[in-house]
Chains A and B, each alone.
Chain A
Amino acid sequence: MSDLLTPVFIAAFIGACIAGAIPLMLAAIGETVGEQSGVLNLGIEGMMLMGAYFGYVVALDTGSLWWGMLGGAVAGAGMSLVLMILSVWLGLNQIVLGIAITLAGVGTTTVLYNQTYSQTAPRVDPSPWVIPGLSKIPVIGQSVFSQSGIFWGAIILAVAVSWLLSRTNWGLCIKAAGQKPSSLDAAGGSVMKTRSQAVLVGGVFAGLGGAYLSLVETSAFTPHMTNGLGYIAIIVTMLSRGRILWVAVVSFAYGLTVAVGTALQLTSLDIPTDVITMLPYIVVMLVLLIFARNVYISPALGAPYTRGAR
């Protein structure tokens, strides 16, 4: 076991941690904004897949990861338009629409991938930013300070959303729409507009999370590559009670379990791969069992708002 704890190994371990955490964190940030405004986005899995696929396509066409990320964000936002128009504007059932968006995302991306890249399966060039000076630090230099620039972009976005939610009027409107929509309405705000913005932001972040998965983490798209990550994002959101810092912390804890799973495969212990893939989910379920009392959900979550209705 001790021969595993070499600097190279630890660097790879931290790298795996980050790779597992960032897509989840991005998606969970989007879900948090949506849930804070009272919209439960169950279609996040489908939005992530759309982001992953279209990010991949755009990145291949333009040769730039940044354009790819933008493409993923647009695809995610496009999927969230369905939720915005049908659920926020017309008040249709969010759960039914969420299932529909997930199915549509899985189906569409698989069909399109099989039509386009399944034969050649080209890979996207990663473009790590080796930060001068800092990347010379042993262990951390190779793992944290040699990440793709998109990693830093994701961190900045997380900080930005955290600031917007907790320090601005916009964040206050979002929270009011989720806590007591009628009071936001009475104060002269528009519940519909606020929730629409929140849903779009949620779609953008889900798309970004998916694109990060295909572009940075694996450098290629594979059908149904999210494999339940969208649902984990919803759980992260529930556990972190609307605070972006906690979203980041819980996401990195998840990344840790993924990295531990990968590391366990390298040991001489004979652990089946199924146990490794199940590990994060088992941890999530245990966390839910232990902290079930603390799970927080906006009071108006899932309920469409009709003015004047009681």
Chain B
Amino acid sequence: MAKSDQGRLRSVSYLLIRSVLPILMALVVAGILLVIIGKDPIGFYIGVFQNGIMGDNWQHSLVMMTPLLLIAIGLIVAFRGQLWNLGYDGQFLLAGVVVAGLAPQLIEATSPGVAYLLLTIAAVVVGAAWTYIPAHLKARFGTNEIITTLVMSIIGVGLTNILIHYFFQDPSVRTPRTSSIPMDVMLPYIPGTHVHVGFIIAIIAAIVFQFILKRTSFGLRLDVFGASPKSARHVGIKSGRMIILLFAISGGLIGLAASMDIFGQWGYMRTNWNPAYGDEIVPFVFLARLSPLGAIPFIAFYSVFATGGMIASQEAGFSSQFLKVIVALILIFMAITEYIGTKRDLGQSYLPDELKETIKRPFANFASRGGKP
């Protein structure tokens, strides 16, 4: 009994190390990079902490976390099926512009509650619909979905601007933007905070999808499909239908994220606005081992980091795009940690045979000539 507890403790600590180590290493290397360009890394990280958590700032972080967590769940569903939905920007913005454009009038015509319900459904449908072409091409012809989702995303971003210009323009202003949802009918705050209830919806979605993925037959079939589409066919899972369904769920969740973000945080949309929420959360989804509940702490961490980092980087005098570099470092260190961890679990050598041979060959040649070059 004690032994198995110990084993479990060890496996949990392994898991923690593997998940947290890449982030720590990335922060250290990013700090070194900051020193190289002549900035103060310690000051920057303190600034991130102060602007992300201290005072009331944690509430800003939670507001930011709402769309991020929903997008993360959307990515998890697709990634579990080995489908790379990288078109999140287009799906998010299109769903966002539809709800932002229709909301003010619909709220006036009906009640906020009814309008939000209808528009949320609309956002989910729009997000899901924008994945259809890539999903269809993948299902029918096996066309690489990474490329098609990215191109559809770029088209979606352009279409968003066109929709604002020609359909949803606020007639009372000159700048290209939609009308605002009146402040007093935006999504209510969670009592005692300035965090809108969309946050609770995001948490509920995480719990629901955790259940679906881990406890239902659909989740099991999804995992079988993700592990090997070929074997999935043998147990009667139709791969074409699965691809389209997974893409639709993924896009739908991203659409939901857009509606919550518009209703709760922004209230309107303007042209050329692209928060690009998706790009930066890809590594955290993997660090959470594609588990919706597991994603919560990682997304919370990134929300704090992004909220604080945006302000801290401006205060320190460099572009907030530096956050992208940190995320890239996390991805790279994550891949390396994962590699070392797998090799360790399997008891294999850390270097592939061919690489070892290539390295050894010059030495072997040198030795066979009796040490004479």
Contact = CB atoms under 8 A, between A and B. Distances in A.
Interface string B141-167: 101101110111011001101100110
A296 B63 CA distance: 44
Interface string A89-112: 111110111011111101110111
Contacts of B283: 96, 100
Nearest to A196: B358
Given A103-B328, A104-B324, A275 B158 contact: yes
B328 A104 contact: yes
Given A100-B331, A235-B151, A292 B141 contact: yes
Interface residues of A, number: 54
A86 B355 CA distance: 12
Interface string A183-194: 000000011110
A285 B358 contact: no
Contacts of A223: 319, 321
Nearest to B84: A95
B355 A288 contact: no
B201 to A, nearest CB: 28
Contact of B321 (A110, A281, A282): A110
A284 interface: yes
Interface in A131-166: none
B186 interface: no
Given A190-B354, A292-B141, A96 B335 contact: yes
B353 interface: yes
Nearest to A118: B319
A293 interface: yes
A4 interface: no
Contacts of A307: 352-354
Interface string B173-205: 000000000000000000000000000000000
B266 interface: no
A195 to B, nearest CB: 11
A82 B332 CA distance: 9
A285 B132 CA distance: 13
Interface string B319-363: 101111111110110111011000000000001111100100000
A288 B323 CA distance: 34
Nearest to A234: B147
B358 A114 contact: no
Contacts of A289: 133, 137
B150 A231 contact: yes
Contacts of B279: 99, 103
Q: Which 5 A-B pairs have the closest CB atoms?
A: A107-B324, A104-B328, A100-B331, A107-B325, A278-B158
Interface of B: 37, 84, 86, 133, 137, 140-141, 143-144, 146-148, 150-152, 154-155, 158-159, 161-162, 165-166, 279-280, 282-283, 286, 318-319, 321-329, 331-332, 334-336, 338-339, 351-355, 358
Interface of A: 42, 82, 86, 89-93, 95-97, 99-104, 106-108, 110-112, 114-115, 190-193, 223, 228, 231-232, 234-235, 238, 272, 274-275, 277-278, 281-282, 284-285, 288-289, 292-293, 295, 297, 306-308
